[in-house]
């Protein structure tokens, strides 16, 4: 059975800050090799195309700075809203079977959780919070 999967990640190669980009890239490539159709929604960066096909993965980028923010937490919240907006656009254009949310924080999870339940989409969330662990001395 082949699935149409929507993956949400704030970073995806070549833009990467930590290990999340490599995780999403490797997982998405492996799923493509298994016959699934993978769409990744991720932040744009200077010179990046809004859409490209990377190793069989459909990569859709959005401008994470579209809504100005005076500090990081507000930017992060805004980025989650913009990512969700792009995700809804992809869902409306493609027959998505399941949604995989990767999160580097806890700020956007309630937003994603509420909307995907309303839309009745199966989904799962993988949280990658190293910066929280580091700030606590771990």
Domain of 115: which CATH number? 3.40.50.2000
Lowest mean pLDDT among 18-22, 110-114, 120-124: 110-114
pLDDT at 69 over 60: yes
pLDDT tens track for 52-65: 999 999 999 999 88
Per-residue pLDDT at 138: 46
How confident is the prediction for the chain on average, in pLDDT?
81
Sequence-separated (6 or more) residues with CB below 8 Å from residue 110 = none
Per-residue pLDDT at 53: 97
Q: What is the mean pLDDT of residues 107-129?
A: 58
Domain that holds residue 30: 4-135
Strand order in the sheet with 37-43: 51-54, 57-62, 37-43, 4-8, 98-103, 123-127
Per-residue pLDDT at 72: 81
∠ CA(88), CA(96), CA(130), 5° rounding?
70
Q: What is the mean pLDDT of residues 41-58?
A: 94
**Phi-psi sector, 101: left (phi>0), alpha (psi -120 to 50), beta:** beta
Q: Which tops the pLDDT comparison, 112 or 42? A: 42
Cα dihedral across residues 28, 31, 35, 38: positive or negative: negative
Q: Work out the burial of residue 5: count CB atoms within 10 Å of its CB; fewer than 13 is exposed, 13-18 middle, 19 or more buried.
A: buried
What's the first-to-final CA gap in the chain, in angstroms?
41
For the chain, counts of helices (H) and of strands (E) = 4, 6
Lowest mean pLDDT among 18-27, 63-72, 98-107, 125-134: 125-134
pLDDT tens track for 87-111: 889 998 998 998 888 765 555 554 5
Q: How many domains does the chain have?
A: 1
d(CA 35, CA 111): 30
């Amino acid at each position: 059975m082949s699935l149409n999967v929507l993956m949400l990640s704030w970073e995806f190669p070549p833009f990467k800050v930590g290990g999340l980009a490599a995780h999403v890239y490797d997982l998405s490539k492996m799923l493509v090799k298994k016959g699934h159709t993978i769409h990744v929604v991720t932040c744009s960066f200077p010179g990046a195309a809004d859409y490209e096909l990377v190793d069989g993965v459909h990569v859709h980028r959005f401008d994470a700075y579209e809504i100005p923010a005076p500090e990081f937490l507000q930017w992060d919240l805004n980025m989650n809203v913009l990512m969700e907006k792009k995700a809804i656009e992809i869902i409306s254009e493609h027959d998505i079977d399941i949604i995989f949310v990767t999160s580097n924080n806890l700020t956007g999870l309630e937003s994603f959780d509420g909307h995907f339940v309303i839309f009745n989409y199966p989904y799962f969330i993988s949280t990658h919070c190293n910066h929280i662990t580091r700030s606590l001395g771990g």
